[in-house]
């Protein structure tokens, strides 16, 4: 089996074997870009290593040195040579890039002797010793697991002692002293000498990369991001090029377009006389890439050309790492650049217009979940003007966030779990902070650039982030930060504007999002491709209006009970519930009727000729009654009934298991007058709107929780009677239908019978999930996380449709229903109707529409288009 490929042997399609970095290094070599030669040890070698109990097979070890020999020939240098050694970098490269894993070791191959050779050979001892101290530092941290700060402390001490601002001011003797200190540190912590044999360094580094696949941070990252644990990582071994030779060398990271806005202009940062992670580690403040144009115009020009070549080849925005060695440009990595949702939309639409990609590709380029960022609020303008601005930093990831400050990942997680809105404040973040970042509303760092860990990760998560705010001083131990003479402690409120990089004291109110032309264009394109209709779940005219603006084509679920709670009505609802005779109940219902009718009229007016699916009363009645003593007393008074009798009614209505109790159509069977009033309100409202506005209202009456054919027969008959009588008396026409929800497994199993009496089906997958699994949707939260931790569930089935089980019932019900009625209209109105993978399922089983909350309508449009492509 072949476990190693040189860059000349690989190509970009071999990503699963070579990892992202390895595949792209090979690809870039092929298209003639300046990539230092090297080779990749495959992900299969990693799996083999892990399988053998963390041991490298002899075949792999030998292979590594065969390929080193090949590099030696190419470079005309010897690995381990004392005068002019071949030096390499060792870097991990998984299929999906992943923070938390061991990353990079540079200058590997140096030792106490060859560092002197290198100094002589290059006539640049500072460079040689700087390279060696970096090797020991990275090796000690990454391979041996000694915390990075222990090494940093020595550097900082020396800088402070000598009054240096920058590490570039360290002189040869400083570096030699530091190297001794580093070596002693390794000895003290690990009881070993820093290995002097380059071969040993190399094998230890390779093994460390492979082992890091299974470290806890990497595992936790994979769990959060649904990345399988059995992919393994590759290792890249590459000839070193040096950005730390002097002021005509340097290193940087850049995006071929702006990753925050999508603007078609190279965007990036670099440092002269620097190496490796210096730029992203926030050690010195990097320079903007435009500075390079001034400092090294020729290199800059070559660089811009290189970014253009890469974009033309990959047909997507690239994130690249480069090094300049004495005026020569090298590219060390390219990958598809992470971007904000705003940038994703702009880049997709721009690239289609530039002719680089087609419409289908543009649609597929944007993650539907991501666009929710664009639909999210910003700070209110007038509020913002009054706001108390503390400091300005980098606009690292857009959006607005307000919350209480916490200074450690653990504290942030705890506070978020206690229901607080959290702003995580750190000097800078590292992969150890991932969990806190996930839970935070926003992230604030005092150090680091646009490509710092905090910035990159926040953008990936679509989370508001302000980075590199130099004017604040963070004291993580004291859990405080300082701005001028002001102090902010744990629990104090601040607000962040990630789009402008601003930090404010206190709470700032937010407003709705604004949608760009490119966004609208992408939505239009989506509509050309998608086959599913996109409806919305809306209970009020306002929600319906928002959904229409977002492109909804109808209402798939209007939950009438939400109207019951509004002021003026809840009292009549309660009167209806406690009524002990039919007559009293009717009297209360008569009071409710005008409210219901007006509510429906308002919604019909907003929706004009579009479908409006109104569900008859669903929740158990006790939900409408007060529970505490005082409220019960005042209600009894208001209704002029004895407190004791009200208490008895409440007790009677209590159920052991209300979600499986007296609810849904069962209420319609017990109290026909409730459903009759609702049908009367719907039909009268529709008739009146048709008459007043000249619309052709589409009223769809939906009966919930049907489990037997007979229930539907009775309730449909009853509704028809009410409706027909009203229509007979009216002077205008009305199209209406009567359908049912499929949300009880029995209804799905017998959907052919149910369909005989239904004009449409709508899957209530919230209840269908609850009843298929047999666990309560209100209580399952207590253990679902454990199920996810133990990998019994990959996803929460209440958020992402369980396609295998619940989906089987859906698929079956669609087929059975259409067996009875070929053209039966079928949709979904459970929460899953707004979740991309569930939408894809709905597309595949042939639903006519999905219905979701207003803010998810654009997500659903895009997801439905992607399913159809
Ligand atoms: C459902 O059960 O999926 C549904 C849409 O109804 P509700 O959530 O109101 O029970
Ligand atoms: Mg339901």
Q: What whole-number distance in Å separates Cα of residue 367 and Cα of residue 622?
A: 42
Percent of the chain's residues with pLDDT above 90:
71
Question: Between 778 and 667, where is the model more confident?
Answer: 667
Residue 537 CA: which ligand 1 atom is closest?
Answer: 5
User: What is the DSSP code (8-state) at residue 316?
Assistant: S
Q: CA 498: distance to chain centroid?
A: 16
Residue 767 CA: which ligand 1 atom is closest?
Answer: 2
| Ligand 1 mutation target, pool 800, 802, 829, 856, most atoms within 8 A of CB | 829
* For the CA of 762, the nearest ligand: 1
**Structure confidence by residue, pLDDT tens digits, 792-832:** 988 889 889 999 999 999 999 999 999 999 999 999 999 89
How many whole angstroms from 142 Cα to the centroid of ligand 2?
52
Single out the catalytic residue among 46, 376, 453, 757.
453
Q: CA 732: distance to chain centroid?
A: 50
* For the CA of 830, the nearest ligand: 1
Q: What whole-number distance in Å separates Cα of residue 127 and Cα of residue 119?
A: 7
> Whose Cα sits closest to atom 8 in ligand 1?
766
> Whose Cα sits closest to atom 1 in ligand 1?
764
Question: Between 666 and 513, where is the model more confident?
Answer: 666
Q: What whole-number distance in Å separates Cα of residue 155 and Cα of residue 173?
A: 13
Q: Which of 100-104, 266-270, 428-432, 627-631 has the highest mean pLDDT?
A: 266-270
Q: CA 649: distance to chain centroid?
A: 47
Provide the terminal-to-terminal Cα distance of the chain, rounded to the nearest Å. Answer: 38
Which residues are known binding-site members for Mg(2+)? 743, 767
CB atoms within 10 A of CB 650: 18
Residues 6+ apart with CB under 8 A from 54: 207, 210, 211
How many whole angstroms from 66 Cα to the centroid of ligand 2?
65
ipTM of the complex: 0.99
Residue 414 in this model has a pLDDT that exceeds 90: yes
pLDDT value of residue 280: 67
Instruction: Judge contact between 97 and 20, C-beta under 8 A.
Output: yes
Which residues are known binding-site members for substrate? 559, 615, 743, 764-767
pLDDT value of residue 377: 64
Residue 829 CA: which ligand 1 atom is closest?
Answer: 5
Question: Between 626 and 675, where is the model more confident?
Answer: 675
Residue 764 CA: which ligand 1 atom is closest?
Answer: 3
Taking each helix axis as running N to C, give the angle between helix 629-639 and helix 643-653, from 0 to 180 degrees, rounded to the nearest 10.
Answer: 120
HEC per residue, 54-98: CCCCHHHHHHHHHHHHHHHHHHCCECCCCCCECCEEEEEEECCCC
Residue 557 CA: which ligand 1 atom is closest?
Answer: 5
Closest-CA residue to 94 (of 232, 237, 228): 232
pLDDT band at residue 172 using 50, 70 and 90 as cut-offs: very high
**Structure confidence by residue, pLDDT tens digits, 447-480:** 876 667 787 677 656 688 998 888 999 999 899 9
Q: What whole-number distance in Å separates Cα of residue 550 and Cα of residue 520?
A: 9
How many whole angstroms from 743 Cα to the centroid of ligand 2?
6
Annotated active-site residue 829? The verdict is yes
How many whole angstroms from 578 Cα to the centroid of ligand 2?
24
DSSP helix/strand/coil, 293:
helix
Read off the tokens for 213: 């696949």
Poorest-confidence range of 656-660, 716-720, 737-741?
A: 656-660
**Structure confidence by residue, pLDDT tens digits, 312-334:** 999 999 999 999 999 999 999 99
**Structure confidence by residue, pLDDT tens digits, 182-221:** 999 999 999 999 999 999 999 999 999 999 898 888 888 8
User: Can you give the C-alpha Rg of the chain in angstroms?
Assistant: 33
How many whole angstroms from 728 Cα to the centroid of ligand 1?
33
Q: What whole-number distance in Å separates Cα of residue 774 and Cα of residue 690?
A: 44
Residues 6+ apart with CB under 8 A from 462: 340, 341, 370, 372, 373, 397, 399
Closest-CA residue to 103 (of 28, 21, 162, 173): 21
Residue 832 CA: which ligand 1 atom is closest?
Answer: 3
Residue 704 CA: which ligand 1 atom is closest?
Answer: 6
| Ligand 1 mutation target, pool 616, 704, 778, 851, most atoms within 8 A of CB | 704
| Ligand 1 mutation target, pool 660, 666, 703, 764, most atoms within 8 A of CB | 764
* For the CA of 537, the nearest ligand: 1
Residues 6+ apart with CB under 8 A from 322: 251, 252, 253, 254, 270, 303, 306, 329, 330, 331, 332
Residue 224 in this model has a pLDDT that exceeds 80: no
Class of domain 377-508: alpha beta
> Whose Cα sits closest to atom 4 in ligand 1?
764
* β-bridge pairing 328-336 and 250-255: unpaired
| Ligand 1 mutation target, pool 562, 563, 743, most atoms within 8 A of CB | 743
> Whose Cα sits closest to atom 9 in ligand 1?
559
Instruction: Judge contact between 469 and 282, C-beta under 8 A.
Output: no
> Whose Cα sits closest to atom 10 in ligand 1?
767
Q: What whole-number distance in Å separates Cα of residue 365 and Cα of residue 357?
A: 10
| Residue spans per domain, the chain | 241-339, 377-508, 530-620+655-868
Which residues are known binding-site members? 559, 615, 743, 764-767
Residues in contact with ligand 1 (CB, 6 Å cut-off): 557, 559, 618, 743, 764-767, 829-830
Architecture of domain 530-620+655-868: Alpha-Beta Barrel (3.20)
> Whose Cα sits closest to atom 6 in ligand 1?
764
Q: CA 512: distance to chain centroid?
A: 20
**Structure confidence by residue, pLDDT tens digits, 23-68:** 999 999 999 999 999 999 999 999 999 999 999 999 999 999 999 9
| Ligand 1 mutation target, pool 766, 780, 802, 810, most atoms within 8 A of CB | 766
Strands (DSSP E) found in 9-159 = 38-41, 88-94, 104-108
Of the candidate CATH numbers 1.25.40.10, 3.30.470.20, 3.30.360.10, 3.20.20.70, the domain formed by 241-339 belongs to 3.30.470.20
pLDDT value of residue 512: 62
pLDDT value of residue 509: 84
- What mean pLDDT value characterizes the chain? 92
The DSSP string of 771-827 is: HHHT--TTTTHHHHHHHHHTTS-SS-TTTS--TTTHHHHHHHHHHHHHHH-TT-EEE
HEC per residue, 536-567: EECCCHHHHHHHHHCCCCEEEEEECHHHHCCC
How many whole angstroms from 790 Cα to the centroid of ligand 2?
29
CB atoms within 10 A of CB 639: 16
Q: Which residues of 733-746 are buried (b: 16+ CB within 10 A; e: fewer)?
A: ebebebbbbbbbbe
User: 377-508 and 530-620+655-868 share one CATH topology?
Assistant: no
How many whole angstroms from 766 Cα to the centroid of ligand 1?
5
**Structure confidence by residue, pLDDT tens digits, 98-157:** 766 677 899 999 999 999 999 999 999 999 999 999 999 999 999 999 988 899 899 889
pLDDT value of residue 51: 93
How many whole angstroms from 4 Cα to the centroid of ligand 2?
55
**Largest Cα–Cα distance in the chain?**
105
> Whose Cα sits closest to atom 3 in ligand 1?
764
Q: How far is CA 607 from CA 341, 553, 598, 692, in A?
A: 30, 9, 14, 14
Q: CA 509: distance to chain centroid?
A: 24
Residue 765 CA: which ligand 1 atom is closest?
Answer: 3
How many whole angstroms from 747 Cα to the centroid of ligand 1?
15
* For the CA of 768, the nearest ligand: 1
HEC per residue, 839-854: HHHHHHCCCCEEEECH
Count H helices, E strands: the chain? 35, 31
Single out the catalytic residue among 46, 464, 465, 829.
829
How many whole angstroms from 861 Cα to the centroid of ligand 2?
23
**Structure confidence by residue, pLDDT tens digits, 675-724:** 999 999 999 999 999 999 999 999 999 999 999 999 999 999 999 999 99
Annotated active-site residue 30? The verdict is no
**Structure confidence by residue, pLDDT tens digits, 282-316:** 667 789 999 999 999 999 999 999 999 999 999 99
How many whole angstroms from 449 Cα to the centroid of ligand 2?
48
């Amino acid at each position: 089996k072949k476990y190693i490929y040189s860059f000349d042997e690989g190509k970009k399609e071999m990503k699963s074997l070579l990892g992202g970095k390895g595949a792209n290094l090979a690809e870039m070599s092929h298209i003639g870009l300046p990539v230092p030669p090297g080779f990749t040890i495959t992900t299969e070698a990693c799996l083999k290593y892990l399988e053998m109990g963390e041991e490298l097979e002899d075949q792999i070890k030998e292979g590594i040195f065969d390929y080193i020999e090949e590099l030696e020939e190419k470079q005309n240098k010897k690995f381990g040579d004392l005068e002019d050694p071949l030096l390499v970098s060792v870097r991990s490269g998984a299929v999906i890039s992943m923070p938390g894993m061991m990353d990079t070791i540079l200058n590997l191959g140096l030792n106490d002797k060859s560092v002197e050779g290198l100094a002589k050979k290059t006539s640049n001892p500072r460079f040689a010793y700087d390279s060696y101290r970096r090797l020991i530092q990275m090796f000690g941290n990454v391979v041996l697991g000694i915390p990075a700060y222990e090494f940093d402390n020595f550097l900082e001490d020396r800088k402070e002692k000598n009054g240096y601002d920058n590490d570039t001011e360290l002189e040869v003797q400083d570096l030699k002293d530091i190297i001794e200190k580093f070596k002693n540190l390794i000895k003290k912590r690990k009881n070993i000498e820093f290995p002097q044999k380059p071969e040993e360094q190399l094998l230890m580094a390779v093994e460390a990369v492979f082992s890091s696949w299974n470290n806890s941070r990497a595992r936790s990252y994979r769990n959060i991001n649904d990345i399988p644990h059995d992919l393994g990582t590759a290792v890249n071994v590459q000839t070193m090029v040096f950005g730390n030779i002097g002021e005509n060398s340097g290193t940087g990271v850049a995006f071929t377009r702006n990753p925050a806005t999508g603007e078609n202009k190279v965007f990036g940062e670099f440092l002269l006389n620097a190496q490796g992670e210096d730029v992203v580690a926030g050690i010195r403040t990097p320079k903007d890439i435009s500075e390079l144009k001034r400092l090294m115009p020729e290199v800059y020009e070559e660089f811009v050309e290189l970014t253009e070549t890469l974009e033309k080849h990959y047909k997507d925005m690239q994130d690249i790492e480069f090094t300049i060695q004495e005026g020569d440009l090298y590219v060390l990595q390219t990958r598809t650049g992470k971007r904000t949702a705003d940038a994703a939309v702009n880049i997709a639409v721009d690239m289609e217009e530039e002719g680089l990609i087609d419409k289908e590709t543009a649609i597929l380029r944007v993650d539907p979940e991501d666009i929710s960022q664009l639909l999210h609020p910003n700070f209110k303008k007038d509020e913002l003007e009054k706001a108390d601005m503390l400091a300005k930093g980098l606009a690292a990831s857009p959006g607005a966030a307000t919350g209480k400050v916490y200074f450690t990942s653990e504290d942030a997680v705890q506070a978020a779990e206690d229901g607080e809105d959290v702003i995580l404040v750190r000097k800078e973040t590292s992969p150890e902070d991932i969990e806190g970042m996930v839970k935070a509303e926003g992230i604030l760092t005092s150090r680091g650039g646009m490509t710092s860990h905090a910035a990159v990760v926040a953008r990936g998560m679509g989370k508001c982030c302000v980075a590199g705010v130099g004017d604040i001083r963070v004291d993580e131990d004291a859990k405080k930060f300082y701005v001028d003479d002001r102090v902010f402690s744990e629990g104090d409120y601040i607000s962040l504007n990630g789009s402008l990089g601003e930090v404010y004291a206190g709470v700032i109110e937010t407003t709705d999002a604004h949608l760009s032309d490119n966004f609208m264009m992408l939505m239009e394109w989506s509509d050309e491709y998608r086959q599913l209709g996109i409806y919305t779940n809306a209970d009020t005219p306002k929600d319906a209006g928002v959904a229409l603006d977002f492109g909804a084509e109808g209402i798939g679920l209007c939950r009438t009970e939400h109207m019951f709670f509004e002021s003026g009505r809840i009292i009549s609802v309660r009167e209806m519930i406690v009524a002990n005779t039919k007559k009293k109940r009717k009297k209360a219902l008569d009071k409710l009727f005008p409210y219901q009718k007006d509510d429906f009229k308002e919604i019909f007016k907003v929706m004009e000729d579009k479908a409006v699916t109104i569900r008859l009363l669903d929740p158990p009645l006790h939900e409408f009654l007060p529970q505490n003593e005082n409220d019960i007393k005042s209600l009894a008074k208001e209704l002029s009934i004895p407190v004791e009798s009200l208490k008895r009614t409440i007790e009677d209505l209590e159920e052991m298991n209300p979600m499986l109790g007296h609810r849904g159509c069962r209420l319609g069977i017990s109290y026909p007058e409730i459903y009759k009033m609702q049908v009367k309100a719907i039909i009268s409202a529709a008739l009146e709107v048709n008459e007043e506005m000249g619309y052709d209202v589409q009223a769809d009456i939906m009966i919930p929780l049907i489990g037997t054919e007979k229930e539907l027969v009775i309730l449909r008959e009853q509704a028809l009677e009410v409706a027909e009588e009203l229509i007979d008396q009216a002077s205008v026409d009305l199209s209406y239908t009567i359908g049912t929800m499929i949300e009880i497994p029995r209804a799905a199993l017998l959907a052919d019978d149910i369909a005989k009496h239904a004009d449409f089906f709508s899957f209530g997958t919230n209840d269908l999930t609850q009843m298929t699994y047999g666990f309560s949707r209100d209580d399952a939260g207590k253990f679902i996380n454990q199920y996810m931790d133990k990998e019994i569930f990959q996803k929460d089935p209440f958020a992402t449709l369980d396609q295998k089980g619940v989906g089987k019932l859906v698929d079956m019900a669609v087929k059975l229903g259409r067996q009875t009625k070929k053209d039966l209209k079928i949709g979904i109105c459970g929460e899953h109707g707004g979740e991309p993978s569930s939408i894809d399922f709905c597309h595949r089983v042939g639903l006519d529409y999905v219905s979701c909350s207003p803010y998810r309508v654009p997500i659903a449009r895009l997801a439905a288009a992607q399913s159809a492509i």
